[in-house]
Amino acid sequence: MLAKVAIDLALDRLFTYEVPQELEKKLAVGQLLSVPFGSRVVRGFVMELETGDQESEAGNYKLKKIISIVDEVPFFSERLLDIVRRIAQWTVSPVESVLKAAVPAAVLKPGAHEKTQLYVDPADGKAGAAKKGDGLDVLTRRQAWVYENLVRLGGGWMHQLCAELGTTATIFRELERKGCAKIEERQRFRAPLARRQVVPSKALALNPGQVEALEKILKAEKPVLLHGITGSGKTEIYLQAIARKLEEGRGAIVMVPEIALTPQTVQRFASRFGDKVAVLHSALSDGERYDEWHRIRSGKALVVVGPRSAVFAPVKDLGIIIVDEEHEGSYKQEDTPRYNARDVAVLRGKIEGALVVLGSATPSLESYRNAQTGKYSCVTLTERAGGGTLPAVRLVDMDDGGETGIYSQELLAAIAKRLDRGEQTILFLNRRGYSRSLTCESCGGTVDCDSCDTPYTYHRADNCLRCHLCGGWRELPRRCPHCGSDRLSYRGIGTQRAEIALQKCFRRARILRMDADSTRGKNSHDDILGAFRRHEADILLGTQMIAKGLDFPNVTLVGVLNADQSLNMPDFRAAERTFQLLAQVSGRAGRSRLPGEVVIQTRNASNPAIKAACACDYVGFAAGELADRREAGLPPWTHLSVIRFKSRDRELAERWARFYSEMLAKAPGKMRVSDAMPSAIEKQEGYFRYQVVITSELISPVVSAYRQAAAQCPPPKAVKMAIDIDAHNIV
C-alpha cells in the first residue's frame, strides 16, 4: 500500500510513502502522520491511499516508510478533503496551506494535548452521612468535616475543593487511604463558555413573515439569501432552522464576520442549545481551541459558532450552514489561501447536502445578483420583529458653514436628550487612534512611516505615532522632518480624540470605547459589550466592530461622525461599503418599542450611497450600482483578480509586474489585463508593491494562464508574487 501525503511545508505537491505492513489496516485518508523528509521528521495528512508498484512510483529512489500515525481518528472526511482540493485549485494555493487554514494551529501544534486534573469523589458506599461503624470513626475531626462537605458537594476538582473548603490535598489523600474518597485524573475541558452566565431560553413566537421565511428555508434545494431589514428577526429564524436539523440528528455551523459579534451570538445559541454549542475563534486560548475542536470532531458539540475559519469545522452529518452578515469583507482571507468563506460555505453545502442560508440587511451585490438570476433562492423580511419600526434618519451637512468640530449641534442635543431619559447612544467612527496624521503647517508635509507609504496616526493613550499597516511606531518629533519647522498640528479625528471631546461635552456621561486598541485582551469584546448591555455605560463609541449584528434594546440613538470616510477609498466597492456600513450601524437604533433616531454627519450630502442609506433603500441603491458596474465591466458581472508583486527594490517589482501584464495579455481566453500599476499604498512594511488587474467572465482561463506563466517564468526570490482570485480589496 502507498500513501500520498501533503507534508507540513508549502511545496504544492504530494509525496508518496510506503505504508508499513503493521499500519495498513489502521491507515485512513485524512489522518495526521509522522513521516521522514530528508534528514528531518515532519508531519503531514494522508490525501490518497492506493496499491501500486513501488518502483514505478519511486523511480530511481527507494520509497521511505511512514513512521507513525499521530492520531487514528481522521482530521478530514473525504468530503472535506474534496473541498480542500477545490479551494487550492481555484485560489491557486498550495494544498498544504488550505489544510493548515482548515485546522486551528493549536490543534496541530506539536505537544498539544487534552488537559487532565485530579478529581475527588466520595468512595463507593460512603455517600451517606458520616457516622460511627462505617469506618469513618477513624477520621480526625477535620477529616470528617471535609468528608461531609465532599459528600454534600458530590465530588469535584481537587484544586477547587481545596480553595472552597480551605483545606489541602493531603487531607484528600488521607481520605483516599482510609477508603473514604477516590482520586483519579480526568480530562477537563477548557470551555470558553464557562465564564458566562447562560440562561436557558425557548423558541419565540414568529410573525407571519418569519414563519413563511423559515418554511421556505427548510424546503430550499439551493442556497437561500435571507434579505431582512435590521431588527427583522433573522437570528430567531436561524435558531429555529437549526433546531429542526438537530431534531434530525444533524449539525450546524453559524458564521459571524467579527469576533465582536461572537459573544452575543454564542450567548443566544448557547441559551437555546446548551452544551451542544462550541465556539471557534482566534481570541480563545490554545487550550480552549484544542478542546472545542475535539468536541466538534467527536460529535459532542453539534452547533459551531465562529468567524470565517469555522466553515471548516469537522461537524458530523452537517445539516445547515448560516452565514450571518454575508456581505462582510472579513469573510475573505487576505493571506494565502485567499478564499472567501461565504463561497466555501456554498460549496460545502452542495457537497455535504446541507442547507445554506446567507443572511444580511444589505446583501453583497454578488449574492443579490445570484438571487436575481435564480442561482440562489431569495427570502425577504420587510418588517421588524416585535412591532418595532426603522429609526428616523437625519442628515447633517458639515460643509454648510454652521458646524465646526467633531460633533454637530444636532447630534449633541440628541445625545443630551438620551442622557436625560436614561436611554443609550451608539457613536460610530471608523478610525482608531487620536488623530489621522501629524502635519506641518509650514510645508504641508506629514510625518510618514519609514516602512510604509502612509502617514503615522497619533495615539494619545501612549503618546506616540503608530502605523496601522505595519504596526511600527516612533516618538513624537519636535520638528518637521521635511523643512525643520516646529509648527506641527494634528489633522483628522480618531476614536480616542472623539472620546476625549465627548467627555468634555458630557462630564457625567459614562462612555465606553471599542476599537482595536481597547479590545486587545482575551475577553475584552465580551466585557465591553456586556457592560454596555447591563447599562453600566450611557454611550458606546467605536469602529466598525460595533456597526453590525448587535442588539441593545435601550439604544435609541445612533450617531455617525464621518459618513464619508469609506467613500474616499480608491476602490470600485467604496460606494457599496459606505451604504452597507451606514445602513447597518443605523439599524442598531430603535430595536425595541422605544423609537430610534439616527444622525449622520457628512460633507458629501448629495452622494447617492449616503442618500440611499438614509432612505433605507437597498433595492434602489443596488439597481443603480449594478447598472454602473455592468457598464464598467466590473463584478458581479465579471470576476476580478489581482496579481500582486512586491520587492524591496521598486524597479524590480515594477519590471516583473510589467512583464506579467504583457505576457498574460497574449494568453488565450476572454480576459482584460491591465497595465502594471503601483498599488494604492505603494510601499508597505518595507516592500514596494505593484499589481496587475484582470477581469474575466470565467475564472478558469485566469487560473490556467497564471499557472502556466508562473511555471515557465517564475520571478526571482527578491520578488514575491501572489494572485488573488475574486479579489475583495484592490488597494
143 plus 267 within the same structural domain = no
Rounded to the nearest angstrom, the gap between the alpha carbon of residue 446 and the centroid of all alpha carbons in its chain is: 33
- 532 pLDDT above the threshold of 80: yes
Task: Evaluate whether residue 11 is within a structural domain.
Answer: yes
CA nearest to 579, candidates 245, 220, 327: 327
pLDDT of residue 426: 95
| Residue 437 in domain | no
How many structural domains is the chain composed of?
Answer: 5
Domain-embedded: residue 102 = no
Is residue 51 situated within a structural domain? yes
Domain of 128 in residue numbering reads as 116-187
Q: Are both 545 and 650 inside the same structural domain?
A: no
Higher-confidence position of 196 and 382: 382
Residue 547: per-residue pLDDT: 81
Same domain? 524 vs 592: yes
Identify the pLDDT of residue 132: 44
On whether the pTM is more than 0.75, the answer is yes
Quick one: 413 and 532 in the same domain?
yes
* Residue 401 pLDDT: 61
Per-residue pLDDT for 195 more than 80?
no
Q: Which of 187, 206, 237 is the last residue of a domain?
A: 187
The radius of gyration of the chain from alpha carbons, rounded to an integer in Å, stands at 29
352 shares a domain with 212? yes
From 187, 210, 241, give the residue that closes a domain: 187
Assign residue 353 a region: left if phi > 0, alpha if psi is -120 to 50, beta otherwise?
left
**Is residue 89 in some structural domain?**
no
Q: State the CATH number of the domain containing residue 652.
A: 3.30.70.600
For the stretch 478-531, pLDDT in tens is 899 899 999 988 888 899 999 999 999 999 999 999 998 888 887 788 889 889
Give residue 53's pLDDT band: very low, low, confident or very high (50, 70, 90): low
Question: Residue 323: its pLDDT value, please?
Answer: 97
pLDDT number for residue 7: 92
CA separation for the pair 677, 355 (Å, rounded) = 42
Same domain? 599 vs 713: no
Closest C-alpha to 368, from 727, 641, 695, 637:
637
Contacts of 651 (CB under 8 A, 6+ apart): none
Q: What is the CATH number of the domain that holds 575?
A: 3.40.50.300
Q: What is the pLDDT of residue 126?
A: 47
Statement to judge: residues 555 and 607 lie in one domain: yes
Question: Does residue 396 share a domain with residue 382?
Answer: no
Note whether residue 607 is domain-resident.
yes
Task: Look at residue 129 in the predicted model and tell me its pLDDT.
Answer: 41
The cell for 197 is 452566565
In which band, very low, low, confident or very high, does the pLDDT at 309 lie, cut at 50, 70 and 90? very high
> Which of these ranges, 48-62, 534-548, 717-731, has the smallest mean pLDDT?
48-62
Burial class (CB in 10 A: 0-12, 13-18, 19+), 118: middle
pLDDT, residue 618, reads 95
Is residue 234 located within the same domain as residue 127? Answer: no
With beta carbons less than 8 A apart as the criterion, state whether 591 and 549 touch.
no
Task: Report the alpha-carbon distance of residue 343 to residue 332 in Å, rounded.
Answer: 9
Q: Is the residue at 469 inside a domain?
A: no
> In whole angstroms, how far apart are CA 365 and each of 360, 461, 625?
11, 39, 9
pLDDT of 125 reads: 46
At 472-493, the pLDDT tens digits run 999 999 899 899 999 988 888 8
Contact by Cβ (8 Å): 262, 305: yes
Same domain, 182 and 220: no
Is the domain of 343 the same as that of 260?
yes
Cell of 208: 407571519
Mean pLDDT of 230-256: 96
Please indicate, yes or no, whether residues 557 and 523 belong to a single structural domain of this protein: yes
In a domain, 598, yes or no: yes
For the stretch 130-141, pLDDT in tens is: 444 455 557 888
Of the residues 166, 187, 208, the one at which a domain ends: 187
669-708 pLDDT tens trace: 889 999 999 998 899 999 999 999 999 999 999 999 999 9
pLDDT at position 404:
65
